[in-house]
A and B are shown apart, each in its own frame.
Chain A
Amino acid sequence: MTGDDSERLITHVRSALERDRAVSIEGEASKAFLGPRADGELLSTRGHTGIIEYRPDELVVTARAGTLLSELDAALGAENQMLACDPPHFGGKGTLGGAIAAGFSGPARPWQGSVRDGLLGVELVNGYGERMQFGGQVMKNVAGYDVSRLMVGARGTLGLILSASLKVLPRPEYTRTAVVAVDRVEACSRSLNLLHKPFPISGSCYVDNHLHVRLSGNEAAVEDASETLRADLEVEESFWDQVRDHEHPFFQGSRPLWRVSLARGSCAYSEICQEQLVEWAGAQVWAYMDDTQSVIELGEGEHATPFRNVAADSSKRIGTEDKYVRRLKAAFDPQDIFNRGMVV
């Protein structure tokens, strides 16, 4: 079903404002494992779907918030293109609006950027019930504050995203994965090299004592890189989607799974725990841990967040900019109607 459900959504927001009720925004609930949705009347974007505009030679796609990422992939793939960012699809159900609200990134993040990096503009409804447009469809735009990117990772607390424009890229002509069996220490030093060397890299993952490095470019460039990396080349197409969408067997465990965001080049992951999967040349670690505090010593700016099989602990997630966070929330949503109580 493709359709413009914006009038109903805006009417619901205005009605909630009048009745002083909170609304809880939900797409396909692909990230329900993060915790229950916020209290309040359900505001579903499921009926607000479809690509509004896509011009391949502009490298931009604009779609409604409820559009499935898989639907975007299919439309872009037909033109031999792909999203510049690589957000997880989680169960094949992830939507565009959800990808922006969550701000998660797949294994390509250090080389191809995040959702925030690829976002060019959003249309949203704020907590005054006003329909607004920020950013646009052009690559360079510095008119006004960057409200679009502020929406990424805000978990729907600043407004309801109606539609968004994202940057797209041509699909690389040739993609292979360099795979090499190494221990953690060796994986660390090799991962660091991935930031230093001008290889055509589009992803890294260390799991089950193997370092996987995805290489994308023309055939000669990919072959050259694999020689320098002293690794065999494999096809492994589904491996990267499985890692991104948490469908890889590693993610099927039942113990508490944490996401640890480390500094570039820190390579502290060898000390975190036994059961881990490491992406982003060492900077994103997925770790099964019962108790983080006794195990991880985090450096400046590094952080660990509960992800699966564990209740979110809000006390760990409030930054020093607390006062400004509260004021920003009030600037967009003074009656606190959007996703009330959601921890950002």
Chain B
Amino acid sequence: MSNPRVLELFRAHLPPQSIITDQAAVRPFETDGITAFRERPWVVVLPETVEQVRSVLQISRDHDVPVVTRGAGTGLSGGARPIRDGVLLTMSKMSKVIEVDLDACTATVEPGVANLAISDAVREHGLYYAPDPSSQIACSIGGNVAENSGGVHCLKYGLTVHNVLGIRVQTIEGEELVLGGKTYDSPGYDLLALMMGSEGMLGVVTQVTVKLLPEPPDKRVLLGVYDDLPKAGDSVSAIIGAGLIPAALEMMDALAIRAAEEYVHAGYPIDAAAILLCELDGVASQVESDADRVSDIMKAKGAINVRTATTEEECELFWKGRKAAFPALGRLAPDYYCMDGSVPRHAIGRVLSEITRLSTVYQLPVANVFHAGDGNLHPLVLYDANKEDELQRAETFGGKILEYCVAVGGTITGEHGVGVEKLDQMCLQFSEAELNQFHRLKAAFDPGALMNPGKAVPALARCSELGGMHVHEGKVPHPELERF
């Protein structure tokens, strides 16, 4: 569609280069990081100022046009997939660092600033921004707020919600909400926390103040090699149970190890069934004693070999394979589908066995690369979209994995968000009353349902068509499993 009147108003408030309607130029915006979901927006706007954002919202509200907000488009759940008759509000031109406050150890930035660019801007002062999603070189801080992004180091340093002190949000009704700032708390309801992970459903983030941390003076990475996946899983629980909180604790299975090694030659043992990467950071004396303890635990739990990297170069080499795991696996099949279930740590072994079983049922290979320390799994289902029914099988397989995660007391998404991808699984995790509460909460900020409509929370009709399975009423799949 096209809406000439709306377009005319956009042109009155935004510079010409900030409005894209040409169908070829719009094409790169038709999907976010999950390319299976595509839609061509009729207009893309790229505001450069807060005033322009407010104008876009006001015009859209006056003319009842839906608005989808997009950061860098790296999201992995289709949250920024455009809506055919909607405006795609792209924040990438608002990418200035507004202020670095060295007394407060904070940085205040526009939403389009890339996650890593914040650390780059303050590195000379010995500071950094802790959350590090794997897309950190490209993903924007505004998008991080919308998704409550995590990353490899959130086991010790927390998620976006723990590291953002303040935001400014523009509502569809034209107000600016100043939430938090440089204080540790604010009077009233904690709307700052509520906005984290709200997937662009409640407002548009136009400014973010983040907490900066001092760079840890020392760092070590241990690589534990296992001939058996469950032994690696047991090591994870044992390390945490021993009172150690590593900066990162990651696991890779055999298929992931081989793919990564062939791709980047990180020195991983290609005949291993699993490896554990454990990073410890802090002051030298602490790191040293913690590293010895982790090494002992890994060996006691059956690691056939434990290697320790102490120099920056060695640490980087150990991480190289993990960081390249997704693209490396991408070389094994034309397409892959990355899941994001989160489970209690002690259930990791059971969930991995179930994934292996489902892999035979759906006849699709699966690799596991994940944040073991906080129980956040990223199974990658490999498939070929050009082969008949493989996409559908991959999606069904992925859905089954998430159902199992819920059944063992976990959640359908640890850090990628619901978007459009996991709407069906939301019906499984939440009851009708809970979903209704979500809809009422959204309506408090967006009564006309114009902000990113149809995402994040499913309509009740959708759930009833699926059979309306509710966890809390005991109608879960796998009722034989203990729930906690």
Q: Which residues of A contact B342 (CB under 8 A)?
A: 138-141
Closest to A56 in B: B241
Q: Which residues of A contact B241 (CB under 8 A)?
A: 56-57
Q: B409: CB under 8 A from chain A? A: yes
* CB pair A328 B182 closer than 8 Å: no
Bound-complex Cα distance A344 to B187 (A): 7
Interface residues of B in 390-411 (CB under 8 A from A): 409-411
Contact A301:B410 (CB < 8 A) given known A140-B159, A264-B106, A319-B188: no
A127 to chain B, nearest CB (A): 10
Chain B positions within 8 Å of A, measured between CB atoms, are: 101-106, 126-127, 147-148, 150, 154-155, 158-159, 161-162, 165-166, 171, 175, 177-191, 193-194, 196-198, 201, 211, 213-217, 237-238, 240-245, 282-283, 285-286, 289, 342-346, 371, 374-376, 409-418, 422, 426, 429-431, 433-434, 437-438, 440-445, 456-457, 472, 484
A142 and B418 form a contact (CB under 8 A): yes
Q: Is the CB of A267 within 8 A of B103?
A: yes
Given A55-B346, A142-B414, A301-B166, do A280 and B188 touch, yes or no (CB 8 Å)?
no
Q: Apart from A266-B103, A344-B189, what are 10 other A-B pairs with CB-CB below 8 Å?
A: A143-B429, A144-B418, A146-B148, A158-B189, A217-B286, A221-B283, A264-B105, A264-B165, A264-B183, A331-B437
A31 within 8 A of B: no
User: Taking the complex as formed, is A182 at the interface, i.e. its CB lies under 8 A from any CB of chain B?
Assistant: no
**Residues on A close to B: CB < 8 A?**
53, 55-60, 80-81, 103, 105, 109-110, 113-114, 116-117, 126, 128, 130-134, 136-147, 149-150, 152-154, 158, 169-171, 173, 192, 195-200, 217-218, 220-221, 224-225, 261-267, 280, 283-284, 300-303, 305, 317-321, 323-325, 327-328, 330-332, 344
Beta-carbon nearest neighbor of B197 in chain A: A142
Q: Which 3 A-B pairs have the closest CB atoms?
A: A170-B243, A301-B181, A265-B103
Kindly report which residue of chain A lies nearest to residue B214, judged by CB atoms: A198
**Residue contact A143 to B285, C-beta cutoff 8 Å:** no
Whether B197 pairs with A146 at a CB distance below 8 angstroms is: yes
Chain A contacts for B430, CB-based, 8 A: 143-144
| A200 lies within 8 A of B243 (CB) | no
List of A residues within 8 angstroms of B437 by Cβ = 126, 130, 132, 147, 331-332
Assess the A146–B194 pair: CB atoms within 8 A: yes
Closest B residue by C-beta to A110: B184
Contact B444 A263 (CB under 8 A): no
Contact B434 A133 (CB under 8 A): yes
Which residues on the B side are within 8 Å of A150 (C-beta)? 189-191, 193-194
Q: Which residues of B contact A171 (CB under 8 A)?
A: 243
Q: 5 A-B residue contacts at CB 8 Å?
A: A105-B185, A114-B185, A145-B194, A224-B283, A332-B437
Q: Indicate whether A261 sits within 8 Å of B185 (C-beta atoms), given known contacts A140-B159, A145-B198, A221-B286.
A: yes
- Closest Cβ neighbor of B422 among chain A residues: A143
**B182 adjacent to A144 (CB under 8 Å):** no
Known A-B contacts A145-B198, A153-B189, A318-B188; A261 and B183 likewise in contact (beta carbons under 8 Å):
yes
Chain B residues contacting A302 (CB-CB under 8 Å) are 183
B162 near A117 with CB under 8 A, answer yes
Most buried by A among B177, B411, B426: B411
Residues of chain B within 8 A (CB-CB) of A305 are 187
Contact, CB under 8 Å: A198 / B215: yes
CA distance in complex: A144, B194 (Å)? 10
Given A59-B240, A139-B374, does the pair A152, B190 have CB atoms closer than 8 Å?
A: yes
Known A-B contacts A80-B243, A195-B105, A320-B178; the reply to A143 vs B426 at CB < 8 A is: yes
Q: Judging by beta carbons under 8 Å apart, are B434 and A199 in contact?
A: no
Q: A149-B193, A266-B104 are in contact. Are A283 and B148 (CB under 8 A)?
A: no
User: Residues of A contacting B147 with CB < 8 Å?
Assistant: 142
Q: Report the minimal beta-carbon distance from A259 to chain B, rounded to whole angstroms.
A: 10
B-chain residues with CB within 8 Å of residue A261 when the two chains form the complex: 183-186
Chain B residues whose C-beta falls within 8 Å of the C-beta of A332 in the assembled complex: 437, 440-441
Q: Which residue of A lies closest to B177 (CB)?
A: A321
Q: A126-B437, A132-B434, A318-B188 are in contact. Are A331 and B183 (CB under 8 A)?
A: no
| B106, B286, B456 interface centre (most CB from chain A within 10 Å) | B286
User: Is the CB–CB distance between A137 and B189 below 8 Å?
Assistant: no
Known A145-B197, A331-B441: A138·B414 in contact at CB below 8 Å: yes
B177 touches A217 (CB 8 A): no
- Residues on the B chain within 8 Å of A128, using CB: 433
Check A149 against B410 for contact (C-beta < 8 Å). Answer: no
Indicate if the CB atoms of A138 and B161 lie closer than 8 Å: no
Within the assembled complex, what's the spacing in Å between the Cα atoms of A96 and B329? Answer: 46
Chain A residues whose C-beta falls within 8 Å of the C-beta of B154 in the assembled complex:
139-140
CA distance A132 to B432 in the complex (A): 10
Chain A's closest residue to B371 (CB) is A140
- Choice from A147, A173, A301, A324 contacting B183 with Cβ under 8 Å: A301
Residues of B close to A152: CB separation below 8 A: 190, 193
A117 to B211, CA, bound (A): 14
- In Å, the complex CA distance between A304 and B193 comes to 21
- Cα of A275 to Cα of B410 in the assembled complex, Å: 49
Contact A170 B180 (CB under 8 A): no
Distance in angstroms between the alpha carbons of A321 and B166 in the assembled complex: 14
CB distance from A121 to the nearest CB of B (A): 10
Which of B189, B282, B346, B412 makes the CB contact (< 8 A) with A57? Answer: B346
Cα–Cα, bound, A264→B211 (Å): 10
B175 adjacent to A323 (CB under 8 Å) = yes
Q: Given the complex, which residues of A lie within 8 Å of B457, measured CB to CB?
A: 144-145
Q: Would you give the shortest CB distance from A68 to chain B, in whole angstroms? A: 23
Q: Which residues of the partner chain B approach A225 to less than 8 Å between Cβ atoms?
A: 283
Shortest CB–CB separation between residue B444 and chain A, in angstroms? 4
Whether the pair B441, A142 counts as a contact (CB closer than 8 A) is: no
